[in-house]
Amino acid sequence: MSAQKINGYVAAMFEVAVANEALAVVEDEMFRLARAYESNDQLRSSLGDSSLPTERRQKIVEQLLGGKAHNVTVQLASMLVGTGHVALLPEVADALVKRASSEKQQEVAEVRSAVALNDAQKTRISEALAKATGKKLNLKVVVDPSVIGGIVATVGDEVIDDTVRTRLDQVKSRF
């Protein structure tokens, strides 16, 4: 049932984004919003709090994204909140990114870093991963302090992990 809903939302969002010629921007912003939703407990509880009026929760989304995100992104996120399916945001965003990448014959490459990456670093990482995997990539960067340092990249089923957290885990497992 969830998969059906997710596919329905993704199809609708995809068509709306394409119609507004903002697919690349929307899928990137939805991806970042989903990661923020996953990592922020307060945001998750606020948007998922059914005791709050729907209009109030949609207002939170608009205040959060207003002026920083494309209008289509704000409307789509607000729609998810309004239909009471905001919990599906991470899956919907990931599926949207995957579909948008497929349209461009690209594979999604999720890169998690402890610190924000500049454009030059993103380009170098994207080129290096494309060279390593032999695929055209749609790079998605997630700032994740839990990795402590370094980068972990996921391309399809392949994971390239060079993070400090993993090295510490390896040391911990030797105790």
Partner 1 sequence: MNLVSVIIAAEDPTQSHHWLFPEIGEIIYGGLASLAIFFALYKFGWPAAKKALETRTATIQKELDDSANARRQAETDAANIRKALGDVASERAKLLAEADAQAAAILAEGRARITAEVADMEARANAEIAAARSRIGDELRAEIARLSAAATASVVRSALDDRAHQDLVDGFIAKVGASR
* Cβ 22 to partner 1 shortest distance, Å: 30
Instruction: Point out which span in 20-28, 48-56, 84-92, 158-166 binds partner 1 (CB under 8 A).
Output: 158-166
Q: Of these, 113, 138, 139, 144, which contacts partner 1 (CB under 8 A)? A: 113
Q: Out of 18, 19, 24, 164, point to the residue binding partner 1 (CB under 8 A).
A: 164
| Residues linked to residue 160 through DSSP beta bridges, in sequence order | 153
Pairing of strands 137-143, 150-155: unpaired
Q: Is 4 an interacting residue with respect to partner 1 (CB under 8 A)? A: no
Of the candidates 142, 48, 161, 135, the one whose C-alpha atom is nearest the C-alpha of residue 94 is 142
* Phi, psi angle pair for 62, to nearest 5°: -65, -40
Q: Does 42 bind partner 1 (CB under 8 A)?
A: no
Shortest Å, Cβ 170 to partner 1:
10
Report residue 161 as tokens.
Answer: 């992990």
Cβ proximity of 74 and 59 under 8 Å: no
Nearer to partner 1, 53 or 156 (CB): 156
Does the footprint of partner 1 cover residue 114 (CB under 8 A)? Answer: yes
Q: Which of 49, 148, 156, 159 binds partner 1 (CB under 8 A)?
A: 148
For residue 107, the cross-strand partners are: 137
3-state secondary structure of 175: coil
Q: Dihedral sign for Cα 100, 102, 106, 107, please.
A: positive
Q: Which of residues 116-145 bind partner 1 (CB under 8 A)?
A: 117, 121, 124-125, 128-129, 131-132
For 14, the token pair is: 């995809």
Cβ closest to partner 1, residue 61 vs residue 147: 147
- Per the listing, tokens 């972990």 go with 152
Contacts with partner 1, residue ranges (CB under 8 A): 113-115, 117, 121, 124-125, 128-129, 131-132, 148-151, 153, 160, 162, 164-165, 168-169, 171-173, 175
